[in-house]
């Protein structure tokens, strides 16, 4: 449960960084370095989130949503003439 909370918190932080980068891009008109710094943080956090998800899957802290490909049951046939 803690791993899921951390993933959601990281996603919200990444979205916040993206929004703040957009804000500073509009405010500074491309003359400041704040936009680049925010986007750099966003990329770093995204990589860290990916690594955290891979580690959590490997350690069994989180489980994937499905257990594999969809398998349909065999069709039932009636053999009346036997």
CA distances 12 to 8, 41, 51, 66, Å, are: 6, 13, 17, 25
**Cα 14 to Cα 12: distance, rounded to the nearest angstrom:** 5
CB 23 within 8 A of CB 35: no
Mean pLDDT, rounded, for 7-28: 89
d(CA 51, CA 29): 34
- The pTM (predicted TM-score) of the whole model is 0.65
For residue 73, pLDDT beyond 60:
yes
pLDDT reading at 75 higher than 90: no
Q: What is the DSSP letter of 82?
A: -
């Amino acid at each position: 449960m803690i791993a899921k909370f951390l993933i959601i918190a990281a996603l919200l932080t990444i979205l916040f960084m993206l929004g703040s980068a957009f804000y500073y891009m509009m405010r500074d008109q491309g003359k400041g370095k704040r936009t680049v710094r925010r986007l750099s943080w966003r990329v770093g956090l995204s990589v860290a989130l990916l690594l955290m998800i891979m580690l959590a899957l490997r350690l069994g802290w989180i489980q994937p949503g499905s257990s594999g490909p969809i398998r349909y049951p065999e069709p039932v046939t009636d053999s009346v003439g036997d």
